[in-house]
Amino acid sequence: MTVRGVWAVVLVAAWVVSMAAVSARSGQAPAAGQPPMFVPSGVGLPDGPGKDVMVQSCGTCHEARRAASARLTKAGWAAVIDSMIGRGAKIAESDVPVVLEYLTANFLGEAAQPININIAPQIDFEAAVGLLRREAAAVVRYRDTHGRFASVDDLKKVPGVDPRKIEARKAAMVVLQ
């Protein structure tokens, strides 16, 4: 899975965890005139094989329609499902491939492409490579001052950038002239 794919999974998982925290509070009585929280509902989801299983599996902890608004690769959705099971989601083993196929068929995203470090803007270094804002700004300044990079390893020479981050995220970067 690419770095962007990992970040997408992390963001979706963080959102789901926050929804689980709200769900934990759902034992409290809803405000006057408000419906109970997280009643499984497939309203707004595309029809298709596995919709009912997805709604029943995912919709008891959080609103299935909101969780499915993400666009992930098949591997990304598989990681989200595994993460949710690890957090206590009750999904029958036989239902996992059904949910995965429904999400993949209806909410598929593209795998992230590596960034070209010789033209990438600062925000790409933050999002795809995971650099802090100040580190990403330092990379762009260095490139503007010293010219194009000959290799991804050249990023390790940029003052203020943690070389371990560059090494760990090499697959998310390419050098094109």
Domains of the chain as residue ranges with CATH: 3-23+37-106 (no CATH), 115-174 (1.10.150.280)
Q: Which two tokens stand for residue 34?
A: 């408000």
25 vs 2: CA distance, rounded Å: 35
Which one has a higher pLDDT value, 100 or 24?
100
What mean pLDDT is predicted for residues 146-160? 96
pLDDT at 2: 56
pTM over 0.75: no
How far is the C-alpha of 163 from the C-alpha of 156, rounded, in Å?
5
pLDDT digits (tens, 9 = 90+) for 100-130: 999 999 888 876 778 899 999 998 888 788 8
- Give residue 19's pLDDT: 47
What pLDDT, on the 0 to 100 scale, is given for residue 36? 43
